[in-house]
Amino acid sequence: MTEREAPPDQLAEYAECLRDACNTGRRMTRAELEARRAAGERAAGLGLTLRVMIREHLAASQEVLTRVPIQQAGSLLAVTEQAVDAFAEGYERAQYQAVRQEEAARREFIDDLLYGRSGLGRLAERAERFGLRLSPAHAVAVACGPEPYGDGYPVAHGIELAVLSRFAGRQVLLTTKDGRLICVAPGDRPDVLAFFAKEAYAATDGGRVAIGRSHPGAGGVVHSYEEALNALDLAERMGLEGPVLYAADMLVYPVLARDRQAMADLVESVLGPLRKGRGGARLFIDTLTAYFDSGCVATEAARRLLLSVRALTYRLERIHTLTGADPADPVNRYTLQTAVIGARLLGWPDAEA
């Protein structure tokens, strides 16, 4: 069937209705209008274009006009207008329903893809419908901002347009989930995720992006997605800075947090005595955090804390006195730094309040 052709039954009833309306001067009945709407839905389902179908309606009206007296032209034009309007309404209704069904199918696929809730074989088949081949490795980037984002939001649409325009045909999937922006890209194309991170940071007015490691297969997408989410969570709990986080750079934190009870015992044993110091444990933990984050350079740590070097040195001496561990000693430093990381992971001592 070519673009200019339409099934004969699409217009047969319409032509009969036109002739009867011309003979009687009536308008279309409710049943006839509903039949035109149904015809519009069928045409949309067959993939016929609305432009072509309207032209076919006008051609049918023109043919009937050549066979009726000229004084009946007014009735014919009025019925033609009714019919075309009803047909277009049915056509648009079918298209809207198809879009909704496609959106629902896409959302279901994305949920299954990110949470691994479907058989891997079936998931791979469905993925091709949405432009992904899951056999190679993939990596996932997750962006969050000051507000939640959903599909169709200007921010999400703008980022999707920018990424797909630059990397057309690159097996890239962009979507949203739980208010976050998500990009799934081939594992050998880190430039795609880097560009997504740049666009997301700008579009979300300084939001943060986490990028999971590349993993093979459909299960790899789930793994990379979880890594990115965990990176965002760790950054929040640890107070990490920077707009882009790489899960590969943060592997030490999940390892340390894996045995939560052992970590809690270490924190309590090493840092518990800091509660006795003036200002409480939180003051000294913040001091140690700045000291370690600055590479154990006292002047830089003092600058970050808005203290004099003398005041910082006094605090470090108090930590040594209270805990028995010297932050300047390499052996003690490792224990203290591990305990401080554990405290930040556990939210200690704030979690005790």
The token pair at 191 is: 């430039």
Question: Is a pLDDT exceeding 60 seen at residue 212?
Answer: yes
pTM for the model: 0.64
Question: Is a pLDDT exceeding 60 seen at residue 245?
Answer: yes
User: How does pLDDT run across 50-86, given as a tens digit for each residue?
Assistant: 888 888 888 888 888 887 787 778 888 888 899 899 9
SS3 189: coil
pLDDT for the residue numbered 210: 95
The token pair at 212 is: 């999971």
pLDDT for the residue numbered 68: 76
Task: Compare 2 and 110 and report the one with higher pLDDT.
Answer: 110
Predicted confidence band at 2 (pLDDT cuts at 50, 70, 90)?
Answer: very low
User: How does pLDDT run across 307-341, given as a tens digit for each residue?
Assistant: 999 999 999 999 999 999 999 888 888 889 989 98
Question: In which element (H, E) is residue 246 found?
Answer: strand 244-246
Question: Is a pLDDT exceeding 80 seen at residue 106?
Answer: no
High-pLDDT (> 90) share of the chain, %: 33
The token pair at 154 is: 């200007």
Task: Compare 98 and 334 and report the one with higher pLDDT.
Answer: 334
pLDDT for the residue numbered 9: 59
Task: Report, as an integer, the average pLDDT of 296-306.
Answer: 93
Task: Report, as an integer, the average pLDDT of 126-135.
Answer: 73
Task: Compare 88 and 350 and report the one with higher pLDDT.
Answer: 88
Q: CA nearest 49: which of 99, 4, 94? A: 4
User: How does pLDDT run across 146-160, given as a tens digit for each residue?
Assistant: 899 888 788 998 998
Q: How far is CA 254 from CA 140, 249, 251, in A?
A: 18, 11, 6
Check the CA dihedral 95-100-106-108 and report its sign: negative
pLDDT for the residue numbered 1: 38
For 104-146, give the DSSP string: HHHHHHHHHHHHT-S-HHHHHHHHHHTT---SSEEEEEEEE-S
User: How does pLDDT run across 10-42, given as a tens digit for each residue?
Assistant: 677 788 888 888 888 888 888 888 988 888 888
Task: Report, as an integer, the average pLDDT of 197-203.
Answer: 93
Q: CA nearest 36: which of 16, 66, 51, 64? A: 16
Question: Is a pLDDT exceeding 50 seen at residue 4?
Answer: no
Rounded distance between C-alpha atoms, residue 318 and residue 326, angstroms: 10
pLDDT for the residue numbered 117: 65
pLDDT for the residue numbered 6: 52
What 348-353 contacts at long range (C-beta under 8 Å, 24+ apart), as own/partner pairs, is 348/264, 348/267, 348/271, 348/281, 349/275, 349/280, 349/281, 349/282, 349/285, 350/282
Predicted confidence band at 225 (pLDDT cuts at 50, 70, 90)?
Answer: very high
pLDDT for the residue numbered 119: 63
